[in-house]
Every structure is written in structure tokens, then in C-alpha cells.
Structure 1
Amino acid sequence: MSSSSSTGILQQQIIDAIEPPIVALAFEAGFYVLSLTSFSLSTYFLVSHKGLKTRAILAMWITTLVMFAVSTCHLALQWKYCKAAIVSQLSFLLLPDYLLSDVIVLWRVWIMWERNVKAVIFPLLLALASAVSGAIAASEGILSGWITDFTRMYGPSWVNISLLVTYASVLATNITTTVLIGVKLWQHRQLIKAHLRSGTYKNRVGNVFALLIESSIIYCIIWIVFIAVRISDGVELTDIDWYTVLSAIMVQISGIYPTAIIVLAALQNTAWDMSVGKEISQHATRTERHFATPNFRSVASTGAHEPHASGADVERGEV
């Protein structure tokens, strides 16, 4: 009787030990497919629209490639070392991915704000804070022997505090950039209304902008949930170890988000040229024809009419 009881307890312990990493691996595999798709799409848009001729585009593609490589390595390590203790040590592998993700988002917001450094100085400082705290957490983990000791599930308190500061800084950075994108969307709507003189404004560029903001908000919400689970770790609300699961998929999500930003930015420029830019151009042409009376033909013949906006103008910040 006691033998069967001991066997049952041992089996339950084995199940409890292998279940969290298996669940985490399943979740991460699903998100890896999304990461692969978003990386492929971003590469397609970068290469097909402008090619890799400029240093900025090449640097962006290399950054997304490094992030995708980190995601691939993380999945491979999850597959090879399917143990909860080892999974927790991989949190340090995620730090470069988080920082590279912030770099791409900051770069895109900087472009949206017409390369205005003052607009992005605050989120840039937050990103630097996350980089410093992440480096401190990694160095403290190495010095304490936590990273190389896979029998210890969680590191010393100061390492955990440094990690939480890093996570909070990343969250604050993305909240700030989301607000900046929202402000730019409002300015964009005012720009279109001023050109079209229309109270009913709806176009594909606005829809892409909305998707951009929605994806940013979702990313921030995921970070809030991840930090909340990290802080409340040890409180078993369900049978699933959600911190292990979220730690596994966060590296994939942090790679999906910036590549989605690249794809949406490309769609935004395309939608502008296909809809808004064309509509403003037609509006300017109708206005020119309306005022091309005999008294004003000489003025019209000189080409002195109001210039229209284009996607390139908006991208350079000339409008």
C-alpha cells in the first residue's frame, strides 16, 4: 500500500516538474510561427519597397534579423532543455531582444515626429535606463552564481529587483511611444481635414494608424500582465505556471511587435499614396481648374498653385 502510494507521489512530482516547460514550449512554438511570419513580411516590405541600399534600412533589417535569431535560439533551448529551472535562466537571453525592440519603435516614432529629438528624449532615457538595469541584473546574476546554478529557480532579491526595474522601464518606454503615436494620429487627422475641407474624414491611412496604436496598446497590456505575474509569483491561481509560460512567449512577442511596426509603416506609406495623396492631388487639380478663368490664366500658366502632399513629403516631415 505504501509502495503504491510512494509511486503515485513520485509520478505526480514528475508530472509537476515537466508540465510547466511543456506548456511553455507549446505556447512559444505557436508564437514563433507568428514571429516567423512577421519577420518574413517586414523583410519583404523593406527589400521590395526601398531595398537594402541605405544604411538606415540595412541597419533596421539587421536588427530584426538579430531579434529573430534570438527568438529562434530561445525556442531551440526550450526544446533541448525542457526544464523549468533552466527556463528561468533564459530570462537574461530576452534582455537584448527587449532593448532591440525598443530601438526599432523609438526609431519609427522619431521618423513620425519629423526627426525631432526633443519628442523622443524621454522614452530614449527610459530605454537607456532599461539597458543599464538589465546589464546590472545580468552581472549580479553572474557574480552570485545564479545563472550557472540551474538548481536555483529564482535569483537573489537584488537580481529580481533589477529585472523588475528593467521590465518597468521597457513598459514605460512603450507607453510613452504609444502616446506619441496617438498624438501624431491626431495631428494627421487635422492635416487631412485642413487639406480636404471635409468634416467626414475616413481613409486607409487612418485605419493603418489606428492598427499601429492598437498593436502598441496590446503590447503594453501584455507587459503589464507579465510584470504583474512576475511580482505575484508564488501565488498559485491556477495549475499552470503562468510566469514560465509568459517568459517563454515574451521573447517571441518582443520580436513580433517591432516587425509589425515596420509592416504597418510600409502599409501606411502605400495607403497614403493610393488614397489620401491621390485625393488631395485631385482636390488641388479641381481647385486649379475652378480658378483658371481668363483673368487668372496667366497665373495658372506659371504653375503658381498650392502644392499637394505626398507620402514622401509626410515621411520627410515637410507637410
Structure 2
Amino acid sequence: MATSLPQSLHNYTQELQVLNALHDYTTSSIVPSLLFESFIVGVLFASVPLGSYLISAKLRSDARIPLILSQWAVSIAVITHWGLSLHQLYRLLDGSALGIALGEPDDATLNSKDFSIHTDYANAWTYLLPIVTETVLFGLVTVLFVVTAWTTLRQLHTRRLSFATGLVPAVATVMYAFSLAHWAVSVQYFTADAHAINQSGNDNDVVPPVTALVVLLTLNAVMGDAIVLWRMCVVWKNKRPILVFAVGLALVTLALNIVNVVVTADNNGYQNKFLVQQNVPVFSETILGIMAAFISLASNACATMLVGIKVWLLRSQLANHAHTSDRRTVVERFMELLVDSGLVYTGIWIFYCVSFFMPIATHTFLQVESLSYSIQITAVDHLNAGMAQMTTIYPLIIFILVALDRTYHEHGPRALHTSEQLSRWDADVPIALDMHVMGDERGRERSEGAASYSKVSNPTDSW
């Protein structure tokens, strides 16, 4: 007579079978559509605000309001559907939608291989969710790259091709290629891990591509820091103290990142115990990696601060030439955009560095209290995946602002007086910031403002 299994063991075995079937179906059917929708959401995050600006700038009739509202309504509907799909996936991942609690089995004699299925199942989703975050950011990067390529290549029709004019699209293409490669490596690893679980029931033979991800993120981070420091030097007209400071920061950043890549390749997944545990650590495997992250933070903070000081000095200089102190010129608005975007980017780096030491937005997939063992995901896991895209987003924004500023100054600084001039300006510049002198002064005061503006050099003349 066959020996019957204990009821708890029988129930647990059934749960394992359900989890295996659910994992197979989710990875083959749900995940691809979710990643595609995540990419579309990222595209909408960038294209809808840009489209709204273009519609408001190009159309002068009442038809622009329905067009703007309609595209925002469509984007909100898509994002809402994406959010609900993600919430549904969360409930499937932690087993709550099926009434399955991922954790320690009641029967202590349960085969350890069976229990490893629970851990492998939970681990698989800790790799997926950061990829969803990265895919959204990758969609945003794609739109910015297309806009950068369009604005820079459009200028080549009016300029002779040279090293300087070809540098921006070349650098943008390289950084976008690294972002694409980082996203592809992450997706490929999740696919290989999911395939191993579906075929053999474990993922022990699949090693996270930590070194490849570190190399790709390092390349983008170093290039991004170099662009930020270059922007700072140009704004200060390459003054020697600023130039020496920028070169010093760039060399330290490069050296620390190179050493971190070499040490990470030989580190075999070791992670400092005083840091938040991460599924695929990037900077936190070595103390040199942590130092490299903080140096990047310092570079961006210093560059933003020095550009902010330049804005203050410029505003004082303009106030000495203008009759009114509330007039804002093209140069001011352009540099204020650099400062504002720099503050946001620096804030992201601060949040990233803090998340090394403090668990933020923790989501637990599996908790075994008797073994003090848990599988969870925190904000640093999302940032480890997303920073390769974020370090591309900010330089692309700088390139776009520089291209728009250069396009404006090729047409000459001017104050707009009539709707005819405004219409002619829109025809010449299809994508432009609202870069004319602001204020409610009379025509005479505006002309004086334009004259005083011409006394101040454009900070991007050498860009």
C-alpha cells in the first residue's frame, strides 16, 4: 500500500506546481506585452509635453486646445492601463491573487529542492520589476535621442560639416547605443533566468551579468559627467580655474570607475554588508564603486552650483544695462533651464547614493523568519537598472537646449513686436523655446532691452 503524503506537504507540492505553471505563462505571455507598454509609457512621458508645446507654439486658433487635451487624455488612459496591469502583476508575483503565501513550508522535512522553487520564483520577479522601470526610461531616452538627432542634423543643412558640428550627434548616438545595450543585457538575463526555471526548476546556472552592466553604466556615467563639466566650462568661457577644476574631477571620476570595473570583474558578487542588499549591485560591490558614485554626485552638484552662480552674475550684469529689473532675456532663460535641469539630475544622484545605505520603498516577495532570510526589492534595485538611462537623458537634454539656443542666435536676438513677426519666427524655427525678451514694457523699452541684451555675449557661442 502506497504511503500517503502529509496534507501540508501535499498542499505545498500543489502550490509549487501552480507557481511553475504561473511563472511559465507570465514570462511567455504577460511580460513581453508589459515591457512593450512600458516603452510606450516612456515615449508618452517625453512626446506629450513636447507635442503640447509645439501645438501651442504653431497653432494660433482655438483648435489647439482640443488637440492638446486629446493627446493628454489618450496618454493618461494608456498610463492608467499600464499602472493597473502592473498592479495586477504585483498580485500575481507575490502569490496573493492565488491565495499562496510565499514563505517557509509548515513541514520541516520538505525537500530543499522544492523550497528552492519558491526562492527562485521570488528572485525572478526581483529582476523583472527593475527592467520595467528601465524600459520606461528607455522609451523616454529614445524620444530625446530622436529629437537630438533631428535638431542637430537639421542644422547641418546650414553649416559645413566639421568635427565640432558632428561631435554632438556622434556622442548622442554612442550614449544611446550604450543605453540600448544595457537594456538588452538586462532583458536577456531575465529571459535566460526565466527559461532555466521553466526547464529545470532552478536558475543556479545563470549568473547575473554584473560586469557587463557595470561597464555599460560606467561608460554612460563618465560620458555624462564629462558633458556636464564641459557645459560648466563653456558657460564660464573656459576660465583657467574652472577648467582645471573640471579636468581634475573628470580624471578622478574616470580613474575610480576604471578601477571599480576591474575590481568588480574579480569580485564574484561580494557585497559590503553595511549596505542595502541588492539583487544586481553596480556601484556597491566595492568601496571604489561607492566613491565613484559620490564623485559623480559631486561633479554634477558643483557644475550646477557654478552655472547657478553664473546666472546670478549675468542677471546683475543685465540689470546694469536695462531700465527695468524684471525683464528676462534669452540668455537668462536658457541658463535657468540648465540650472533647473541640473538640480533635478543632482537630486537623482543624491537619492541614488542615499539608497545604498537606507532601504527605501521596500517590497518583500519572500520572508523566512526562522532563517532570517528574505527576498525583497528596494529603490536602489530600480536605480541600478535605470541609471544607465538617466545618465543619458540629462546629456541629451543639454544637447537639445544647446541646439535650440544656437538656432535662435543664428536668426539673431530680437524682440517680437507684431503677430507678423511672430508668425515668421515660427516658420523659421519649428522647435524653439520661448526665447524672446519677456515683459509688459512698451515698444521703446523692448527695443532698449534688445540693445542691452546684445551687450551680453551668448554663453553658447562656442558650443
Q: Conserved in 2, the CA contact under 8 Å of 1:97 and 1:255?
A: yes
Aligned match of 2:363: 238
Q: Conserved in 2, the CA contact under 8 Å of 1:87 and 1:244?
A: no
Question: Are 1:315 and 2:460 counterparts?
Answer: yes
Distance change in 2, residues 1:79/1:311 (3 Å): farther
Q: Deviations over 1:40-96 (max 9, x none)?
A: 222222222355723123223222211110000011111111159626441232101
Question: Are 1:5 and 2:142 counterparts?
Answer: no
For structure 2, the residue ranges without an aligned partner over 5 or more in a row are: 1-7, 17-99, 103-114, 194-205, 271-277, 365-376, 416-434, 438-442
Q: Deviations over 1:244-294 (max 9, x none)?
A: 211111000100101101112233345564556986xx979977xxxxxxx
Aligned match of 1:248: 385
Aligned match of 1:259: 396
Query: In 2, Cα distance between the equivalents of 1:52 and 1:247?
Result: 41
Aligned residue runs from structure 1 range 51-66, under 5 A: 51=159, 53-66=161-174
Q: Secondary structure of the residue that 2:328 maps to in structure 1?
A: coil
Query: In 1, Cα distance between the equivalents of 2:456 and 2:447?
Result: 20
Question: Are 1:132 and 2:255 counterparts?
Answer: yes
Q: Which sits farther off after the overlay, 121-130 or 99-108? A: 121-130
Query: In 2, Cα distance between the equivalents of 1:248 and 1:154?
Result: 9
Identical-pair percentage: 20
Q: Secondary structure of the residue that 2:454 maps to in structure 1?
A: coil
For structure 1, the residue ranges without an aligned partner over 5 or more in a row are: 288-305
Aligned match of 1:117: 240
Distance change in 2, residues 1:161/1:154 (3 Å): farther
Question: Are 1:86 and 2:208 counterparts?
Answer: yes
Larger Rg: 2
Distance change in 2, residues 1:36/1:199 (3 Å): same
Q: Secondary structure of the residue that 2:363 maps to in structure 1?
A: coil
Distance change in 2, residues 1:61/1:74 (3 Å): same
Query: In 1, Cα distance between the equivalents of 2:453 and 2:253?
Result: 42
How far did residue 221 of structure 1 move?
1.0
1:222 aligned partner, one-letter code: I
How far did residue 171 of structure 1 move?
0.5
Aligned match of 2:106: none
The one of 333, 340, 354 equivalent to 1:207 is: 333
Aligned match of 1:301: none
Q: Conserved in 2, the CA contact under 8 Å of 1:20 and 1:245?
A: no
Query: In 2, Cα distance between the equivalents of 1:35 and 1:311?
Result: 34
Q: Which sits farther off after the overlay, 116-125 or 1-10? A: 1-10
Q: Deviations over 1:93-114 (max 9, x none)?
A: 2101100011112222221111
Q: Secondary structure of the residue that 1:86 maps to in structure 2?
A: coil
Q: TM-score, normalised by structure 1?
A: 0.78
- Which gives a bigger RCO, structure 1 or 2 (Cα 8 Å, sep 6+)? 1
Q: Secondary structure of the residue that 2:255 maps to in structure 1?
A: helix
2:169 aligned partner, one-letter code: W
Query: In 2, Cα distance between the equivalents of 1:275 and 1:209?
Result: 18
How far did residue 213 of structure 1 move?
1.1
- Cα RMSD for the two superposed structures: 3.5
How far did residue 21 of structure 1 move?
1.6
May I ask how many residue pairs the two structures share in their alignment? Answer: 293
How far did residue 231 of structure 1 move?
2.9
Q: Deviations over 1:196-247 (max 9, x none)?
A: 22222224543332222111111111111111222346x8833333222111
Q: TM-score, normalised by structure 2?
A: 0.56
Query: In 1, Cα distance between the equivalents of 2:316 and 2:396?
Result: 28
Query: In 1, Cα distance between the equivalents of 2:453 and 2:119?
Result: 70
Q: Secondary structure of the residue that 1:315 maps to in structure 2?
A: coil
Query: In 2, Cα distance between the equivalents of 1:268 and 1:188?
Result: 17
Distance change in 2, residues 1:14/1:266 (3 Å): same
Q: Conserved in 2, the CA contact under 8 Å of 1:208 and 1:267?
A: no
Query: In 2, Cα distance between the equivalents of 1:39 and 1:54?
Result: 21
Aligned match of 1:100: 223
Q: Conserved in 1, the CA contact under 8 Å of 2:297 and 2:349?
A: yes
Q: Conserved in 1, the CA contact under 8 Å of 2:321 and 2:452?
A: no
Q: Conserved in 2, the CA contact under 8 Å of 1:23 and 1:245?
A: yes
Q: Which sits farther off after the overlay, 79-88 or 171-180? A: 79-88
